[in-house]
């Protein structure tokens, strides 16, 4: 689909993969709503790229409805619904201290990563359904969700995170089938190790990132957020990409640790 002259909404758009996606879509002529908890960074980015910021908690359906309403009245048809908001968590199923995984922490990760993606996809698509078709295929828009290769091959201590990302992967095919009726495609990207603020900053973080990226096959480095955003644009522009779960990982395969 054509990006120019459209509106888009990007959750987690204030940082990392979401921020790069906001920049890419805005540069291609889309009016982008940055939907994020972080209002300082979100407001600054939105004003830089000529978009709009709406403080949003993706785990809260009412909050997502408010953000989608802004995107749907941006003055151009809302076509692209992109979920990048997410949080990490590390805890074993049974800890070294013999304690079972904390229920509240598991629930929080599911709420933000999985329910948050469900909220934006379903509420966003309902708004896209109200637009006129954009081309001869009857296409109205595209959903892109962000899972992780941790949803396919979860590592030690990634029980909650992998469950949340596996859930996103599992929604891809049924959502694509459901949303075909309104002319929407749905694809899910599974990033590997991409250099973003999610890993923190400073010497300890650089050391951690180097260790994580060591098994990458080629190119021998972390991915960049700009490369992720480029993939988002490809998935929007190529009308035959649908119901797919795409690894974006330089060939890495996670080992147990």
Residues of the shown chain interacting with ligand NAD in the complex, contacts defined by CB under 6 A: 11-12, 14-18, 36-38, 56-59, 84-87, 112, 116, 146, 148, 191, 193-194, 196-198
What are the backbone dihedrals phi and psi of residue 65, each rounded to the nearest 5 degrees, phi first? -60, -40
Q: Provide the β-strand partners of residue 119.
A: none
* The one catalytic residue among 80, 89, 161, 254: 161
Residue 234 tokens, joined: 């490809």
State the Cα–Cα distance between residues 67 and 56, nearest whole angstrom. 7
Number of H helices, E strands in the chain: 8, 9
Q: Are 186 and 143 in contact (CB under 8 A)?
A: yes
What are the backbone dihedrals phi and psi of residue 112, each rounded to the nearest 5 degrees, phi first? -75, -55
Q: Provide the β-strand partners of residue 86.
A: none
Nearer to ligand NAD, 28 or 38 (CB): 38
Nearer to ligand NAD, 91 or 146 (CB): 146
Question: Could you give the 3-state DSSP secondary structure of residue 32?
Answer: strand
Nearer to ligand NAD, 100 or 200 (CB): 200
Q: Least distance to ligand NAD from the beta carbon of 138, Å? A: 30
Beta strands of 141-205 (E only): which ranges? 141-146, 184-191, 194-195
The residue whose two tokens read 């973003």 is 196
Q: Least distance to ligand NAD from the beta carbon of 19, Å? A: 7
Q: Least distance to ligand NAD from the beta carbon of 15, Å? A: 3
Question: Could you give the 3-state DSSP secondary structure of residue 18?
Answer: helix
Q: Least distance to ligand NAD from the beta carbon of 247, Å? A: 11
Residue 80 tokens, joined: 């692209």
Q: Least distance to ligand NAD from the beta carbon of 202, Å? A: 15
199 flagged as catalytic:
no
Nearer to ligand NAD, 2 or 38 (CB): 38
The residue whose two tokens read 């939907």 is 35
Nearer to ligand NAD, 86 or 183 (CB): 86
Catalytic residue ranges = 161
């Amino acid at each position: 689909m054509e990006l120019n002259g459209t509106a888009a909404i990007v959750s987690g758009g204030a940082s990392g993969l979401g921020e790069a996606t906001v920049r890419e879509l805005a540069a291609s002529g889309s009016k982008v709503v940055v939907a994020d908890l972080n209002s300082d960074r979100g407001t600054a980015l939105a004003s830089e790229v000529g978009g709009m910021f709406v403080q949003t908690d993706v785990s809260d359906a009412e909050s997502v409805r408010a953000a989608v309403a802004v995107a749907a009245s941006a003055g151009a048809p809302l076509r692209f619904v992109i979920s990048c908001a997410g949080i990490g968590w590390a805890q074993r199923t049974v800890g070294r201290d013999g304690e079972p995984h904390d229920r509240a922490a598991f629930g929080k990760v599911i709420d933000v990563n999985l329910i948050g993606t469900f909220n934006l996809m379903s509420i966003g698509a309902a708004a896209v359904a109200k637009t006129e078709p954009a081309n001869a295929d009857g296409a109205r828009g595209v959903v892109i969700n962000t899972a992780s290769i941790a949803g396919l091959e979860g590592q030690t201590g990634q029980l909650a995170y992998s469950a949340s990302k596996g859930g996103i992967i599992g929604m891809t095919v049924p959502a694509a089938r459901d949303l075909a009726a309104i002319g929407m495609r749905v694809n899910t990207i599974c990033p590997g190790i991409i250099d973003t603020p999610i890993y923190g900053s400073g010497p300890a973080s650089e050391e951690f990132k180097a260790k994580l990226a060591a098994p990458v096959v080629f190119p021998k480095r972390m991915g960049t957020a700009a490369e992720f955003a480029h993939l988002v644009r490809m998935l929007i522009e190529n009308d035959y990409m649908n119901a797919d779960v795409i690894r974006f990982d330089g060939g890495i395969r996670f080992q147990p640790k």
